[in-house]
Amino acid sequence: MSAELCRIDFEPVGKRVAVPAGTSLLDAAQAAGIGLASVCGGHGHCGRCLLAVLDGDAGEAGEAERGLLPESELAAGQRLACQARVAGNVRVHVPRASLVTSQRLQTGGLARDVTVEAVVRGWQAQTSAPTLSDHRSDFDRVAQALRAAHGLDGLTAEPAVLRQLSPLARRTGWRLTAYVRDHEVVGFAAPGRRPAGLAVDLGTTKIAGYLADLETGEELAAAGVMNPQIAYGEDVIARLAHAVRQPGGAERLAGAVRSAINDLAGTLAAEAGIARDQIAAACVAGNTAMHHLLLALPTRQLSASPFVPATSRPVDVRARELGLELAPGAYVQMLPCVSGFVGADHVAMVLATGLDRADRVAVGLDIGTNTEIALCRPAGPALTSASCASGPAFEGAHIRDGMRAADGAIEGVRFTPDGVELRVVGDTRPTGICGSGIVDAVAELHRTGLINERGRLRRDAPGVRRGRDGLEVLLAPAAGTGSGTDIVVTQGDVDEIQLAKGAIAAGVRVVLAVTGTDPADVQEVIVAGAFGSYLNIDSALGIGLLPRFPRAAYRQVGNAAGAGAKAALLSATERERAWRIADGIGYVELTTFPGFQRLFARSMQFPTIADVPTIADVPRFPGG
């Protein structure tokens, strides 16, 4: 990069751009294809382009910013993008409210039939108002009505719930709904208000939330948001390092994700048309690091060998202890983990896909920043799992023109004799390339012989040119992009995908070897996760990202971890099953497998192509 250029990292959008010193952050965002709100046209009047500068020099705040932003916000790094001008490399956080387009966040997944037996039920109560001759306390008269009508005995309630009861009962004429968990009343509501539950898939990059009726099991609303912890590191290791090494780091990470879940709960309640205090239970599934950071558990031992969690058991915690505004006595259940790098999200995926009950040899892959691998062998061992650090490349990170799956992201690539065909999120001009798009592009480079088995671009091949970062292939010329700059695939991008796919392929091979499984015996491969939903299976097989089992069927199931969290929310039986799954999984630590590094290096190579295309078969590249 030229000395006069400054690199701007936009998080959690996952887009990077190089601009000259003195460029405003608004212009830098536009150059990166990021749609920032700017009602006043960049004159510093509307305050809609608010960003947070996390690192780097964005100059001193001027008169316009000081007129709109309190000194405390300026001191915390809040700036107006149209006014802040960069003087060096800068990393900024873009709040969702400042975007005019939103990211595509996968919430859909398996639709499972679950017999509803939620741990919280709503019971109708009707009693008489107090009189001078009936001095029973408010709670006693409601508890006695519940015992008489429904046989509920020994009920208790903590002060937070009692504070809710007295004014509500008088407003509703002593007719109300009690939300009961075991023998504890966790909330009260107006008569007929059924309890709802919140299921959360707490991912490293994304958080998916689901609101469900705890009596019928009906999904009331679903939404996803980016995990704001991205501002402190794109992967688990970086966040653990921040938590351990930075004063107050763990508290910042916990606060960020708690606030995001709380906001998500409010959004879902508003969409479903219910009050927040009708959310009487919650269930969260996340990897072990996300689990520990949310609960503010010690994390130092997670980041050092032998990488053990503080606990792997299910944890019940009051929602308000996590800052969640739900029913006043509501609990959040954290599903069990397996090990330091195989968490509750993996358990939830196994639960949702039924891998623990499969009658065939099957492999489950939950692909993301970390990829979890599960192998089911009905003949035993029943379940064996491993985790590999596949890195953030599948989210568009560390890719030259990478971005996450927002409008303008190239999500599909096909080379034809007539040129390059692109599929773009939002059907608009491309501004970058997301994870599924870069996998497609690398698969096409391999299929057409522009890269060899070692992943090296052929410098003499048509369409390969030298760019500012070395050899590259042009996907979209500047004149046809939303950013006004060329969108390319570089040698560095290919290297990133090689590292990611090598880690996954090596992990699968180790699990097969440890369990003595012949690849020919595998009958099904289940691909889960947000990235896996949009992945082109043919491309993934073509570059060796997914193993090519000769007898296996491949199935994409979307956000299976979210589906598992919903099942555990709605059913006590499914919660118990999740505990049995976690307790029964055999965990394989990949790095202790003899020859793992050698296997990893071999797995980075691309499959051999018997017939490398001739020059005539290679497409005409734009500008090539």
- Domain match, 513 and 597 both: yes
Helices 236-245 & 288-295 angle (0-180, nearest 10)? 30
561 in any annotated domain: yes
CB 432 within 8 A of CB 29: no
Poorest-confidence range of 254-263, 286-295, 378-387? 378-387
Per-residue pLDDT at 624 exceeds 70: no
Report which DSSP code applies to 322. G
329 in any annotated domain: no
- Domain match, 503 and 482 both: no
Per-residue pLDDT at 2 exceeds 60: no
Poorest-confidence range of 138-152, 312-326, 426-440, 570-584? 426-440
Report which DSSP code applies to 88. S
Number of Cβ within a 10 Å radius of residue 454 = 9
- Domain match, 378 and 524 both: yes
Tell me, what's the pLDDT at 109?
Answer: 56
Per-residue pLDDT at 622 exceeds 90: no
- Domain match, 442 and 512 both: no
- Domain match, 372 and 404 both: no
What the block records as the tokens of 560 is: 């299976």
Amino acid, res. 245: R
Per-residue pLDDT at 623 exceeds 60: no
d(Cα 430, Cα 210) in Å, to the nearest integer? 31
Q: What is the pLDDT of residues 468-488, one digit of tens each?
A: 889 999 999 989 888 788 899
Give ∠ CA 25-206-499 in degrees, rounded to 5: 85
Poorest-confidence range of 126-135, 239-248, 395-404, 521-530? 395-404
Of 492, 501, 457, 493, which is closest to residue 602 (Cα–Cα)? 501
> What CATH number corresponds to the domain at position 141?
3.10.20.880
Residue count of the chain, please give it.
Answer: 624
> What CATH number corresponds to the domain at position 351?
3.30.420.40
> What CATH number corresponds to the domain at position 25?
3.10.20.30
- Domain match, 170 and 43 both: no
What the block records as the tokens of 304 is: 């050092």
Per-residue pLDDT at 612 exceeds 70: no
Alpha helices in 487-624 (DSSP H): 491-515, 530-534, 537-543, 560-570, 572-584, 596-603
Total domains in the fold of the chain = 4
Of 384, 309, 382, which is closest to residue 341 (Cα–Cα)? 309
Tell me, what's the pLDDT at 607?
Answer: 86
Using the Cα atoms of residue 316, residue 320, residue 326 and residue 328 in order, give the sign of their dihedral.
positive
Alpha helices in 430-473 (DSSP H): 435-447
- CA dist 135 to 30, 171, 383, 563, Å? 68, 19, 59, 48
Of 445, 468, 467, which is closest to residue 457 (Cα–Cα)? 445
399 in any annotated domain: yes
Tell me, what's the pLDDT at 301?
Answer: 93
404 in any annotated domain: yes
Amino acid, res. 615: I
d(Cα 494, Cα 455) in Å, to the nearest integer? 7
What average pLDDT does this structure show over 32-52?
Answer: 74
- Domain match, 451 and 590 both: no
What average pLDDT does this structure show over 130-144?
Answer: 94
Spacing of C-alpha 607 from chain mean position: 30
Q: What is the pLDDT of residues 330-386, one digit of tens each?
A: 999 999 999 998 999 999 999 999 999 999 999 999 988 789 999 999 887 789 999
Q: Which of 458, 489, 520 is the last residue of a domain?
A: 489
Domain span including residue 575: 345-390+498-603
Measure the N-to-C terminal CA separation of the chain; round to a whole number of Å: 23
CB 285 within 8 A of CB 209: no
328 in any annotated domain: no
- CA dist 200 to 265, 333, 334, Å? 9, 10, 10
Q: What is the pLDDT of residues 580-600, one digit of tens each?
A: 999 999 999 998 899 999 999
Poorest-confidence range of 184-198, 237-251, 610-624? 610-624
Tell me the average pLDDT of the chain.
Answer: 88
SS3 of 243-312: the string is HHHCCCHHHHHHHHHHHHHHHHHHHHHHHHCCCHHHEEEEEEEECHHHHHHHHCCCCHHHHCCCCCCCCC
536 in any annotated domain: yes
d(Cα 561, Cα 531) in Å, to the nearest integer? 13
Per-residue pLDDT at 617 exceeds 70: no
- Domain match, 459 and 516 both: no
Q: Which value, to the nearest 10 degrees, does the dihedral of the CA atoms of residues 480, 481, 486, 492 take?
A: -130
What average pLDDT does this structure show over 561-580?
Answer: 95
For β-strands 371-376 and 383-388, DSSP reports them as antiparallel
3-state secondary structure of 22: coil
- Domain match, 456 and 484 both: yes
Rg from Cα positions in the chain: 27
What average pLDDT does this structure show over 451-460?
Answer: 91
Q: Which of 456, 489, 522 is the last residue of a domain?
A: 489
- Domain match, 350 and 362 both: yes
- Domain match, 397 and 379 both: no
Residue with tokens 């799992």: 385
pTM of the model: 0.80
Q: What is the pLDDT of residues 421-446, one digit of tens each?
A: 999 988 888 988 988 999 999 999 99
33 in any annotated domain: yes
Share of the chain above pLDDT 90, in %: 63
Tell me, what's the pLDDT at 95?
Answer: 78
265 in any annotated domain: no
- Domain match, 384 and 514 both: yes
